[in-house]
Amino acid sequence: MNRLSWFNTVSLTLGFAFLYIPMVILIIFSFNESKLVTVWAGFSTKWYGELFRDQAFLNAAWVTLKVAVFSSTLATVLGTMAAYVMVRGGRFAGRTLFSGMIYAPLVMPEVITGLSLLLLFIGIGLDRGVFTIVLAHTTFSMCYVSVVVSSRLVTFDRSLEEAALDLGCSPAEAFRLVTLPIIAPAVISGWLLAFTLSLDDLVIASFTAGPSATTLPMKIFSSVRLGVSPKINALSTIMIAIVTVGVITASLITKSSVARQRRAEQEAARAS
Amino acid sequence: MRRLILIAVPYLWLLALFLVPFVIVLKISLSDTALAIPPYTPTLDLSAGWQGIRDFFAELDFENFVWLTQDDLYWKAYLSSLWIALASTAMTLLVAYPIAYGMARAPEEWRPTLMMLVILPFWTSFLIRVYSWMGILSQEGFLNQFLLWTGVISDPLQILNTNTAVYIGIVYTYLPFMILPIYATLDRLDISLIEAAEDLGCSRASAFWLVTVPLSKNGIIAGCFLVFIPALGEFVIPSLLGGSSTLMIGKVLWEEFFSNRDWPVASAVAVVLLLILVVPIVLFQKNQERQQEAEK
Amino acid sequence: MQSSTFEPWNDPEATPLIRFWNVTKKFGDFTAIHDLSLEIFEREFFALLGPSGCGKTTMMRMLAGFEEPTRGTIELAGQDIAHVPPNKRAVNMMFQSYALFPHLTVWDNIAFGLRRDRKPKDEIAARVEEMLKLTRLEKFARRKPDQISGGQRQRVALARSLAKAPKLLLLDEPLGALDAKLRQDTQFELMDIQEKTGTTFVIVTHDQEEAMTVASRIAVMDEGRLMQVDTPDRIYEEPGSVYVADFIGDVNIIEGRATPQGEGSYRIDWAEGQPPLTARSERRLAAGQTCYLAIRPEKVAITADRPADAANAIQGKVHDIAYLGNLSTYHVRLADGQIIKAQTSNRRRIARRQFTWEDTVWLSWTATAGVLLEN
C-alpha cells in the first residue's frame, strides 16, 4: 500500500496545482515590465521600486505591523489565561457564558464583529485609530490563542505541576517553571496565529480604524477594487515570500529538534 | 484571590468587547434612523432613572426588521447567500475529498510535507489569495487566454464579476478548511477495515462507499461547517470577484453601513444573519462534541 | 470415519486444498518469502508459527489476496489464485485488529459479507442468526463494536469471517488482544467451532503454546523459510534443527563431537574432564562431526546421588531455582560454567523440597531422551 495509485497521483497533482498556480502567476507577473498584469513584456523589478517609494503603502505597512505586534502579544497573554481558566479553572459562576464567548468569535462573520465593535467605540466616545484596531484584533485573536493553548493543556500531565508543588513551588512558580516551558510551543504558535490573523484582517480593521489609521489590507483592498496592479503583485510576492520562509523555517526547526531527540535517545539506549 | 484575577481579566475583556457590543447592535437594530450622528434614536438615558428606561423600551420597535421583509433586496440577499454558501461548500467537498484521500494514502514520509503544502496558503494573506484570481479570471486573464489558445472558445468568457468567480474564490480560499478535517479522519482510518471489506466480497469502489465514506463522515461534516459558516457572511470574495448582480449579505451589510449610513438597518441585517447562523453553529458544535466522545 | 486418526498429509492419495509452489515474495530489496513450498489439506487446523518478521503474515496475506507472490504459484483447490482479487476468493480472514466496522452493529457486521453476495434477505437473516448462536452473541446483535468487550469483539470477527462459509479461514493472531485466561478458553472454543463447521483454518501466531494447543500441524518459520512442518508432538519431541528446538518450549543444547558406536548409537565428547554422553539417533553423523544434543528440562532427572543405571550422568551445583507452582526448574551449574536446566513436578509441598541453592546434585537422562542435531 505504499505506492500511490494513478488516481491518487492525479488528484494530488491537480489539487496542489489548483492551490499553487494562482500564487505562482501572481509572483511571476510581479516581475513584469508592462503595467498590464496579464501580458508578459520582459523582466523588471521596477514595481518593487515603486512600491518602496510609495509613502502611503509604507505608512500602512508600519501601522499594520504595530497593530499586529501589540494585539498578538496582548491576545497571547489573555488567551493563555483564558485557556488556563477553561481547562484548570474548575467551576465558577458564568462558566458556560465564558466558554461561549471564547468559541463564538471563531465562527462570527467578520462583518458582524466589526460592526458591533464600531458601534461600541462610538457609543463610549472612543477616538478610533491604531488603539481601537488593537482592541478589536486582540478580542478575536485571543479566542484563537485560547483554543490552541487549551488543546495543549488538555493533554498536559497534571502530575508534573503537582510534583512541582510537592517540591516546594508556589502555584505561580509551578506555572512559570514547569507549565509554561512545556506549553511554550503552543503559546508560540498561538502568538504566530494571532499575528497572522491581525496582518490579514481587512473587514474588522475597516470598521474599527477610523479615518486616522489605514492598515495594509485596507490599502490593498482599496487599490485592487479598481483592478489588478503590478504594484500589488510585488507587495503580494514579498508577503508570500515572508510567510513561506517563516513556515519552512519553523517546520525545519521542529524536524531537526525531533531528529536531535531521536539521536539522543539512541545514544542513551546504547550507553545504558 | 489569584484565581479570581485569572478568571476576571479575560472574562471582563470578553464581556466588554464581545458581549456588550452585541447588546448594542441589538438595541440599535430596534431603533429609529435619524439624520444626526450617531444616526439613531433613542439613546438610553440612565440619568432619567426608571422613567428613562421605560421611555427607552417604549420607543423600541421592529420597524427595521419589517423593513427587511418588505424590501426584496434583503431577503433575496439572504437567500442568495445561503445558496452560494451551500453550493460552494458542496463544490469544495468535491475538490477536497480526493486530495485528502490522496494525502492519506501517500507514503508516510511525504505526509508532513503534503500537510505543510495544504497549510501554507492558510498563512498567506486571504486578501492576496482572492486577488490572485482577479488576474486569472478577467476578460484578458490567463484562463481566457488559455481557452482561446486551445480553441475551446472563440470569444473570451465573462467570468470575473459573476457568481462563477465567487464560487471559484470560495472553493479556493476555504479548501484547506475542508481538506484538513477529512484528512484527519482518513489518516486515522484503519487500512485493515478496507481489507476486511474486500475480503468479505466488496470491490474497491463498494468498499469505498460502504466503509471509507461512512467512516470519514465526521471529517466531512466538520469540513462542511468550517466552509459554510464563514462563506455565508463572506465579504471580500463577493466584493472583489463578484459582480453588481452578486448578492451576498456581508456585502449588503457593508454597503448599508458605509454607503447608506443606515446603522439601524445594518444592525438589523447583522442580527438576522446571526439568527440564521445559530442553526449551523449549534449543529457544528454538536458534531464536534460527538466526535470527541467517540475518540474517548 | 474410516480411520480414527486425521492425517491426510501422510496419505499419498490426498489432494491438498492449498499448495504453495516455490513461492518467493519481495518487497523492494527485502525478500519476505524465500522459494517456499507447502501443502495444507482440507479440514486442517494449520498454524504458521514464528517470531515477528519471519514472513508468516505475508504468507497469510498472499492467501487472502492482499499480496501477490513475486514468483511461484499458489493454488486453492487446484486453481491458481495468484491474480484473483480478495473479494473474488472463497477465503475469508479474521484480522488481528478484528477490523470490525465501527459504524455498523454486530448484526450488520456479520451480514456484511452475505449482503455482498446479494443473497435473499431471509437467507441472510437466517445465516446471521446461526452465526450469532454459534458464537453465543445473540444478546449483542444490536450493539455497536465499541459497546462490547474484547472477547465478544473477537467472536464477532470470527462470526463475520465464517458467515460466508469460506473454504478457508485465515486467522491473524486471533487471540493476541485477549488476556491469558480468556485466551485459553477461546482456544478450545476455536477448536470446537473448527470441528463443527469443518472449515480449514490457517492461523498465524507467534505464541508457541497457542499453536501447540490448537493446530493439527505447525509450520515453524524463520526469515522467510520453513524450518519444519509437522504435528505438534513431533515438533516438540523431534525438532529438526536447533532453531526449532529452541523456539518451541524450553531446551538444553549441548554442543559436542559425535563418534558412531554402531546401531544408531553415538558417543558425544562435549567438555574437558567430563565423561562422554551417549545418545541414539536415526540421523547419520560422521565421526568427529560437530553435533548438538537437544534435551528438554523435564527429561533430565535430578538426584542427590549418582543413579546406578543412567546412560548419562553429570555432576553440578544448584545455581537457581524457578518455582512455577506445579513445576520447579533447577538451573544447575557444571564445573565448566555451563548451565543445564532440569525440571521436576512438585508433587510434594514446597517445604519438603529436596534440594536448595549450592547443593551438589547429579543430572541424568537416558540415551533416547535427547535429540541429536547437526545444526
Is B180 domain-assigned?
yes
Instruction: Please give the share of chain A, as a percent, with pLDDT higher than 70.
Output: 97
- Tell me the average pLDDT across C147-175: 92
Which of A42, A33, A18, A39 shows the shortest CA–CA distance to A234? A33
Counting other chains too, the contacts that A180-184 makes at CB distance below 8 Å and 24 or more residues apart are A182/A156, A183/A149, A183/A152, A183/A153, A183/A156
Best mutation target, C109, C114, C116, to test chain B (most B CBs within 10 A): C116
Give the 3-state secondary structure of residue C82: coil
pLDDT band at residue B141 using 50, 70 and 90 as cut-offs: confident
According to CATH, what is the number of the domain C250-373?
Answer: 2.40.50.140
Best mutation target, C27, C63, C95, to test chain B (most B CBs within 10 A): C95
In this prediction, residue B36 carries a pLDDT of: 38
Is B176 domain-assigned?
yes
Instruction: Please give the share of chain B, as a percent, with pLDDT higher than 90.
Output: 42
Q: Are strands C217-222 and C45-49 parallel, antiparallel or unpaired?
A: parallel
Is B134 domain-assigned?
yes
Residue that has been written with the C-alpha cell 545455581 in this structure: C319
| Distance of alpha carbon C251 from alpha carbon C315, whole angstroms | 19
Give the 3-state secondary structure of residue C38: strand
pLDDT band at residue A272 using 50, 70 and 90 as cut-offs: low
In this prediction, residue B145 carries a pLDDT of: 86
3-state secondary structure B139-195: CCCHHHHHHHHHCCCCCCCCCCCCHHHHHHHHHHHHHHHHHHHHHHHHHHCCHHHHH
In this prediction, residue C351 carries a pLDDT of: 59
User: B135–A5: do the CB atoms touch at under 8 Å?
Assistant: no
**Cβ neighbours of B136 in A, within 8 Å:** 22, 25
- In terms of residue numbers, what domain contains B207? 70-295
User: Rounded to 10 degrees, what is the CA torsion of A208, A213, A215, A217?
Assistant: 60
In terms of residues, how long is chain A? Answer: 272
Nearest residue of B to residue A248, measured between CA atoms: B116
- Tell me the average pLDDT across A57-69: 93
User: B201–C66: do the CB atoms touch at under 8 Å?
Assistant: no
Best mutation target, B115, B132, B149, to test chain A (most A CBs within 10 A): B132
Name the more confident of B230 and A5: B230
Residue that has been written with the C-alpha cell 454538536 in this structure: B286
**For residue A237, is pLDDT > 50?**
yes
**CATH number of the structural domain spanning residue B186:** 1.10.3720.10
**For residue C328, is pLDDT > 50?**
yes
Sign of the torsion angle spanned by Cα atoms C73, C77, C78, C82? negative
Q: Which CATH architecture group holds C8-245?
A: 3-Layer(aba) Sandwich (3.40)
In this prediction, residue B296 carries a pLDDT of: 58
Task: Give the CA angle between residues B229, B233, B231 to the nearest 5°.
Answer: 50
**For residue A267, is pLDDT > 90?**
no
Residue that has been written with the C-alpha cell 494449520 in this structure: C46
Mean pLDDT rounded to a whole number for chain C: 89
Question: Structural domains in chain A?
Answer: 17-53 (no CATH), 55-232 (1.10.3720.10)
Q: How many CB atoms lie within 10 A of CB C178?
A: 18
In this prediction, residue B174 carries a pLDDT of: 95
Instruction: Kindly give, in sequence order, each residue whose CB lies less than 8 Å from that of residue B89, ignoring residues fewer than 6 positions away.
Output: B224, B227, B228, B231
> Which chains does chain C touch, 3 or more C-beta pairs < 8 A?
B
In this prediction, residue A2 carries a pLDDT of: 45
To the nearest whole Å, the CA of B116 is away from the closest chain C CA by 28
Best mutation target, B199, B291, B293, to test chain C (most C CBs within 10 A): B199
To the nearest whole Å, the CA of B192 is away from the closest chain C CA by 6
| Most confident range, picked from B57-71, C176-190, C340-354 | C176-190
Among A9-23, A218-232, C31-45, the least confident range: A218-232
Of B193, B201, B217, nearest to C113 by CB-CB distance is B201
Instruction: Kindly give, in sequence order, each residue whose CB lies less than 8 Å from that of residue C90, ignoring residues fewer than 6 positions away.
Output: C76, C164, C166, C167, C168
Q: How confident is the model over A177-223, as pLDDT tens digits?
A: 888 888 998 999 999 999 999 999 999 999 999 888 899 999 999 98
User: C164–B202: do the CB atoms touch at under 8 Å?
Assistant: no
In this prediction, residue B43 carries a pLDDT of: 55
To the nearest whole Å, the CA of C185 is away from the closest chain B CA by 25
Cell of B1: 484571590
- Tell me the average pLDDT across B9-27: 90
Is B196 domain-assigned?
yes
Adjacency order of strands within the sheet including C91-94: C91-94, C168-172, C200-205, C45-49, C217-222, C225-230
pLDDT band at residue B44 using 50, 70 and 90 as cut-offs: low
- Supply the Cα-derived Rg of chain C in whole angstroms: 25
Number of domains in chain B: 1
User: B131–A23: do the CB atoms touch at under 8 Å?
Assistant: no
Which of A6, A79, B294 shows the shortest CA–CA distance to C102? B294
**Cβ neighbours of B41 in A, within 8 Å:** none
- Tell me the average pLDDT across C41-55: 92
User: A109–B233: do the CB atoms touch at under 8 Å?
Assistant: yes
pLDDT band at residue B91 using 50, 70 and 90 as cut-offs: very high
Tally of CA atoms within 13 A in the half-sphere of B266 that contains its CB: 27
Q: How many CB atoms lie within 10 A of CB A176?
A: 13
To the nearest whole Å, the CA of B65 is away from the closest chain A CA by 17
Of A11, A117, A244, nearest to B21 by CB-CB distance is A117
To the nearest whole Å, the CA of C87 is away from the closest chain B CA by 4
Are B139 and A52 a contacting pair, CB within 8 Å? no
Which of B221, B252, B259, B218 shows the shortest CA–CA distance to B235? B252
| Distance of alpha carbon C190 from alpha carbon C201, whole angstroms | 10
Of C65, C116, C161, nearest to B202 by CB-CB distance is C116
Whether residue C21 lies within 8 A of chain B, CB to CB, comes out as no
**Cβ neighbours of C81 in B, within 8 Å:** none
**Cβ neighbours of B202 in C, within 8 Å:** 87, 116
Of B195, B203, B206, nearest to C99 by CB-CB distance is B195
In this prediction, residue C109 carries a pLDDT of: 94
Cell of C161: 469471517
Which of B113, B230, B218, B120 shows the shortest CA–CA distance to B169? B230
Whether residue C103 lies within 8 A of chain B, CB to CB, comes out as yes
In this prediction, residue A100 carries a pLDDT of: 87
Of C66, C91, C164, nearest to B195 by CB-CB distance is C66
Of B102, B136, B267, nearest to A12 by CB-CB distance is B102
Sign of the torsion angle spanned by Cα atoms B250, B254, B256, B262? positive
pLDDT band at residue B87 using 50, 70 and 90 as cut-offs: very high
| Distance of alpha carbon C213 from alpha carbon C140, whole angstroms | 29
Nearest residue of C to residue B202, measured between CA atoms: C87
User: B9–A38: do the CB atoms touch at under 8 Å?
Assistant: no
Is B258 domain-assigned?
yes
User: B195–C86: do the CB atoms touch at under 8 Å?
Assistant: yes
Nearest residue of B to residue C96, measured between CA atoms: B192
Domain boundaries of chain C, sorted by first residue:
8-245, 250-373
